[in-house]
Structures are given as structure tokens and as C-alpha cells.
Amino acid sequence: EVQLLESGGGLVQPGGSLRLSCAASGFTFSSYAMSWVRQAPGKGLEWVSAISGSGGSTYYADSVKGRFTISRDNSKNTLYLQMNSLRAEDTAVYYCAKSLAARSSADGMDVWGQGTTVTVSS
């Protein structure tokens, strides 16, 4: 069964840092680009960042560029999101998601984790 399991969310003060992880199973992890998508309370979906299967290409939304870093460890089948200089507006549920097609670039997302909650507040 294809599965994604996020962890690492929590309460952090403004200006603080947090690292999210997403453990993948049931598919050839290194063949697929992966994304982080977030959803602020009561709001819609916002794509945050993506990384190619090899990890050689990364992409960011303007709202997080320079503060967040996406990475992956294909030997551990794990995706990461390092979040620095956190702001109140980063408060959201963060989902990791698998790209639809192998070796694709921009793509739809066919498998999603259950989400991990990040709250930025003093």
C-alpha cells in the first residue's frame, strides 16, 4: 500500500524553526517528485515546495522562498521541510504529497499524507 506519514509539527514561537518529515512506503520513492502543500485554518490549499526525484531540482512558493528548504533522503525514503524564520501566517496543516507520474516535473498529486499541524504563536 502506498503511504505517506508526516511528523514534526508542533507549536513554535515567531522567528523559530521546525523540521517536518514525511516517511514514504509502497512505491519507488526516488522515481517521484514530492511536494509540500499547506492549509491554514479555514482556508484553501496552498502549494509550498517541490523537489525532483533525484533531489537535484527544488521549487518554492514566493511566500516561503529563502525561509524554507525542501530536501529528501532517498536511502531512507523520507522527505523533509526545514522551516526557518517562522511567522504567524505559516500556521497551517502541512501535507506531503506524491507526484502522479514517475520522473515528471510539475504534476498533479495522487497520494497525500494525513498532515501535520504547525502553529506559530508566542
Partner 1 sequence: DIQMTQSPSTLSASVGDRVTITCRASQSISSWLAWYQQKPGKAPKLLIYKASSLESGVPSRFSGSGSGTEFTLTISSLQPDDFATYYCQQYNSYPLTFGPGTKVDIK
Mapping DSSP to helix (H, G, I), strand (E, B) and coil, where does residue 103 land? coil
CB 45 within 8 A of CB 112: no
DSSP string, 74-96: TTTTEEEEEE-S--GGG-EEEEE
Subset of 36-55 contacting partner 1 (CB under 8 A) = 37, 44-47, 50
52: Cα separation from own chain's centroid: 13
Of the pair 13, 102, the CB lying nearest partner 1 is at: 102
Rounded to whole angstroms, how far apart are CA atoms 94 and 46? 10
**5 scored as a contact of partner 1 (CB under 8 A):** no
Q: Which of 89, 100, 102, 103 binds partner 1 (CB under 8 A)?
A: 100
**68 scored as a contact of partner 1 (CB under 8 A):** no
Q: Which of 70, 109, 118, 120 binds partner 1 (CB under 8 A)?
A: 109
Strands 116-120 and 18-25: unpaired
Closest CA to 22 of 32, 7, 37, 34: 7
Q: How many residues bind partner 1 (CB under 8 A)?
A: 23
Q: Which of 2, 11, 102, 106 binds partner 1 (CB under 8 A)?
A: 106
**9 scored as a contact of partner 1 (CB under 8 A):** no
Shortest distance, position 9 Cβ to partner 1, whole Å: 14
Q: Which residues bind partner 1 (CB under 8 A)?
A: 35, 37, 44-47, 50, 59-62, 95, 100, 105-110, 112-115
